[in-house]
Structure 1
Amino acid sequence: MTQRTIFLLAIAASLGLSAMAVAQDGADVPLPAPAPILIRLAAPEANQGVASDGSHVYAIDNDRIGKYRIADGKRIAAWQGERRLFPHMNSCTIVGHELVCAASNYPAVPQTSAVEIFDTRTLRHLRTLSLGLGPGSLTVMDRHAGKWWAVFANYAGKGGEAGRDHRYTLLVRMDDHFRQEAAWTFPAAVLARFAPKSCSGMSWSSEGRLYVTGHDRPEIYELALPDAGSTLELRRTIGFASPGQAIDWDPAAKDLLWSIDRSRGDMIGSRVK
């Protein structure tokens, strides 16, 4: 660690910044303070991600889901799956009365993926769409502009395939039948922050802005589709109270972004502008 890094870490600490947020893109650049937390709800299922319908939040774990009322934090429904069938659900999004979830066989290889769909009212498992072998492990599913948007994660180490590390992580646009229409890679600066893991969260805002998170850093990356080429553009990096994992914009509250703190088993609602 250089003397300049130590100096900046000291400044960051005095300003209440996270030490992990100081070094970005290989340079010693302090990040803004974490976005303010507006609400925190306890949920033992909050291990992989969270989704919101505006009135309720859904805590996601590998093989279980909890539905919680935002107003009082009370759990009103729960689902538990068989682990061999649901080894790794990661993130979900809500479309109508369906909770659409990204799932894979992580950390097993070869990497296989599936879309798991639940009834938001009862959390009953409705159906599975198997994607089979793909360009990575499906970690993210979102709906935007009449299309499905998915992230296929790749890893340097556990859960990764030979010859394909975190740099092969891919954002894919799909049609209504989950067939690939287009795909983009992530900027090198963001991939460096993902390493050795990958993208664990992604959600389009109501303004049509793309926000993603990694696996363990308290940061959000606002990205944009490029005017040309195949690499997403990094617009800004935002300080965040949640250490990575799956995220979801609240459809009823402006600027409210849901995430999880898996170390505490909490769902967090932060104001992000």
Structure 2
Amino acid sequence: MFGFVAFVPGHAAEKSADPVREATRVWLASLPAALKAELTHHGLVAEEVRRWKPRGANQGVAVDGKHFYGIGNYVVGKYDKVTGERVAEWVGLRGGATVHLNGGLIQDGQLVLAHSNFPQLPMASSLEYFDPASVRPVKSVSLGIRHGSLTWAEKKDGFWWACFAHYNDQGTAPGTDNRSTMVGKFDENWQLLESWLFPPQVVASWGKSSCSGGSWGDDGLLYTTGHDASELYVLRLPKMGVTLEYVTMIKVPFEGQSWAWDRTDRRVIYGIIRRTGEVVVAKIPELPAVLR
């Protein structure tokens, strides 16, 4: 006496029906995966050298051989690096042409400041040039409406490198947040050539804010800060893809915002603590060879 077995479709039947597809799935699952995105710091801690308390330096600081420059939205003060004495100052108008001065540096003998109209919309930015001797404005280069608000800019190897920031709470275009913050590479005429996003663990460290400071180190790596954390994020250009590669994080005695390398004193940074109005000088440790 013979009977029959009913065929009931199911997962096992699907797998046996397409063994090639199942083998491919198993193979893909066995491939190596990228490491989890974490803020590793390898025990690196900067050493505080000294502090100053200039007036109005609530956005950032620039530095040259003999002086540092405290930067506010409409205030730029020049101070002696040895004594901390104020030797010159420019004060603009509240509600005037400069809305939000950010990072600054000495570039080709001039003090160059990144500027935006944050938190106004649409987002527009400019570079403001000052004579470092007199601290008087000498030139303005309007970058117009861009993808984000300019927070820092630096010329290196014949190209401009700049960060255009987005935020989560105010001053950002509808439909975007701080994940849209990018570092761009521009030609002499500020035409965009390439751009990169920030690693997700760095973006998460910003909270509702964004990247406030950045500059290339003498080791060829990109050093950046957020808005509040006492952390310096070290990044590099990726060999593939659109996201900057995370290298490590260094604990620093200043709190985010814009800062500047002292190019006359190896591995020294001038940063600020906005809540106390202080400029902090810090010695940045060399990265281990394995990280470079």
> What's the TM-score, normalizing by structure 2?
0.81
Structure 2 partner of 1:7: none
Q: Which position in structure 2 is the counterpart of 1:37?
A: 48
- The residue aligned with 2:151 is 139
Rounded to whole Å, the distance in 2 between the matches of 1:165 and 1:132 is 20
Indicate whether 1:64 and 2:70 are aligned. no
Percent identity over paired residues: 37
- Could you say what secondary structure the match of 2:204 adopts? helix
Aligned to 1:261: 273
Look at both structures and tell me which one has the larger radius of gyration over its CA atoms. Answer: 2
CA contact (8 A) 1:31 1:239 kept: no
What runs of 5+ residues in structure 2 fail to find an aligned partner? Answer: 1-35, 286-292
| Partners of 2:37 and 2:248 in 1: CA distance | 15
Deviations 1:181-218 (A, max 9, x none): 21111111111111310000001112222100000111
1:216 counterpart SS class = coil
Moved over 6 A (4+): 25-31
Q: Does 1:97 align with 2:109?
A: yes
Alpha-carbon displacement from aligned partner over 1:83-115 (angstroms, at most 9, x marks no partner): 321010011111132111111111111111111
Over the residues paired in the alignment, what is the CA RMSD in angstroms?
1.8
Name the SS for the 1:191 alignment partner: helix
Counterpart of 2:88 in structure 1 is 77
1:164-190 deviations in Å (ceiling 9; x for gaps): 100000101122222222111111111
The code of the aligned residue for 2:78 comes to: K
The size of the alignment, in residue pairs, is 249
Aligned letter for 1:183?
S
Normalised by the length of structure 1, the TM-score is: 0.87
Unaligned runs of 5+ in 1: 1-24
SS state of the match for residue 57, structure 1?
strand
- Structure 2 residue 246 is matched with structure 1 residue 243: no
CA distance in 1, matches of 2:37, 2:187: 37
Match of 2:140 in 1: 128
